[in-house]
Chain A
Amino acid sequence: MEDEDKYNVCTACSILCDDIEIETENNSITGVYTACRKGVSRIQTCNEPMPCTLDGKDTDVDTAISETANILKKSENPLIFGLGNSTEGAQKKAIELAKQLNANLDDTSSFCQGPVVEAILNGEINYTCTLDDVRNNADVIVYWGADPANSHPRHLSKYTYFPRGKYRQKGYDEDRTAIAIDVRESSTAEICGNNSYLIPPQKDEELIDALIDALSGKVPKVSFEMNKKRILELANILKKAKYGVIFAGLGLVYSLDNFEPIKRLMDKLNEVSNFYFNPMIGHYNMRGFNQNLFNETGYINRVKFKDSEVKHGYEYSVVELLKNKSVDSALIIGSDPMCSLPGSIARNLNKIPIITIDPCETLTSRKSRINIPSALSGVECGGSAIRMDGVRVNFEPMIETSKISDEEILRRVMEEL
């Protein structure tokens, strides 16, 4: 990109928009250009920055770090969790730390887009492309169980539906078709107009098989109220695509028991046309965590280090570990499991000592023994991250801070150990 210097990267979601301009005055951000509403609220930082505390009382970072090392040292089965909002540098440090401690290590992908990223990284699904490829080539864009208008606001305008691309010069109304398949009329479905397909919850697999039938020249059948003509019409758009992309949201991922139906559909689509598959990842660097852990262990999440061994399985997922009360301490980095886990599981966090590293106060931090404030990555510290499509993005801090990065905090914890 020309004028690259003047642009900043937004870390509010995993599109990692790299064309953001800011204005600053006395080291505070006074104007943000081109970022969406969600991005601006991230860039302007939170109203409740995290204080450095130990047992509810203010302390200094040095004390907090050495106490953290003490808790982790004494712990027999610690959990390290979070890291979707951390730089790759911090993620690599956390993996090292988990090895050193024989800890469990997991991230939000464990109850989010993990299965999709896993299928992509271990080559189970080969049909994937970058967002830049989508901009330049895609003529059919399918959002399945995803509502980027609310979760990834610039997805359609920066990459998929609205921009002109190398082979899509005529504009969205002539050159591209956007389709929404969902259980509710989302804002994204609204934009897709007649190409919005409503299905009942948990019926995604049925629609997948009906589409495969239609694409095979058979009569599609579904148990729910959906006109056969509508299914044929959808299949026809998919079949005619020169370069189609399916963006899978959590709605699709949560409704399937496993990845097989998606594989079936992608195989069929690539028999009759040309289709790609991409996950709509939430946190800005969730994919980075998955890739870094994969490079190190062959697994994307849910690992337990035991001396030189790496164990992996659903029983090492944050959800099962907390449900079974098998961990005796938790180091939470840039995440708020008390908020994001089912209440029936998160409540077990109250029973173990928690250490939270985060730029902002969280529900988890209010229940933590130790809180260590960190620099907000992308705003107060730089680094690199992996975009939702696997592309690495480097970024510099927008403003200066006296707070240290989570990478540095983790490094110092390891030193203390």
Chain B
Amino acid sequence: MDFGKFLETPEYDIKIITYRDIFQSEALENSLFGDEYKDLSAIIKLDSKDMEKMGIKSGNIVYLKNKYGDVVVKAVESDSENPHRGYAYMPNSPWSNSLVSDETGNTGVPNYKLIDASISDAKGEDIADIEKLEVVNV
């Protein structure tokens, strides 16, 4: 994938909080490799004001990146009643794990729940199927 082109689009810092979703867990039990699991996993829920600022619309494909990895997912407007600017939500999955740090501060426990990353519009890039994720292809 040519990530060079993303450099031209503006990047914003975002803190990602991961969570669990029962419908995603159900999809996982049915088929890890199915479309449903991918559709319910490879998403990021953003605050509507943040989306406005970033020029990202619900359904847009976005590129998330930090020093531990990168991943392409779909942006969705958050259904949260309280604003959460600067924070975004992602269900826990191999897509969110693509961005989790390998540093554990000698605890052996990575910080899965709070991930610092940059977000930018991926302009129609495809969301990788689970088997195309970098983790299994290095």
Contacts and interface: CB of A to CB of B under 8 A. Distances in A.
Interface of A: 12, 36-38, 41-42, 44, 46-48, 110-111, 114-115, 147, 149-151, 153, 183-186, 198, 201-202, 250-251, 254-255, 257, 302, 314-315, 317-320, 323, 336, 338-347, 350, 360-363, 366-367
B6 interface: no
A400 B109 CA distance: 39
Given A47-B34, A323-B102, A111 B108 contact: yes
Contacts of A147: 19-20
B100 A342 contact: yes
A150 B101 contact: no
Q: Secondary structure at chain A's binding surface: helix, strand, loop or mixed?
A: helix
Contacts of A250: 112-113
Contacts of A111: 108-110, 112
A186 B19 contact: yes
B31 interface: yes
Interface of B: 15, 17, 19-23, 25-26, 29-34, 68-69, 80-82, 84, 87, 89, 93-94, 97-102, 104-114, 130-131, 133-136, 138
B101 A367 contact: no
A184 B84 contact: yes
Contacts, number: 149
Given A314-B106, A344-B69, A361-B33, 17 more contacts: A37-B23, A42-B29, A46-B31, A47-B30, A48-B31, A48-B33, A110-B108, A110-B109, A150-B20, A184-B80, A319-B102, A338-B135, A340-B97, A343-B94, A343-B99, A343-B134, A361-B32
Which 9 pairs, one residue from A and one from B, show the smallest C-beta to C-beta distance? A317-B108, A342-B100, A41-B29, A314-B108, A343-B135, A344-B102, A343-B98, A47-B31, A254-B113
A390 to B, nearest CB: 22
Nearest to A41: B29
19 contacts: A46-B31, A48-B32, A150-B19, A151-B22, A153-B22, A185-B82, A201-B15, A201-B114, A254-B109, A254-B114, A257-B107, A339-B97, A342-B68, A342-B110, A343-B100, A343-B135, A344-B69, A344-B102, A366-B131
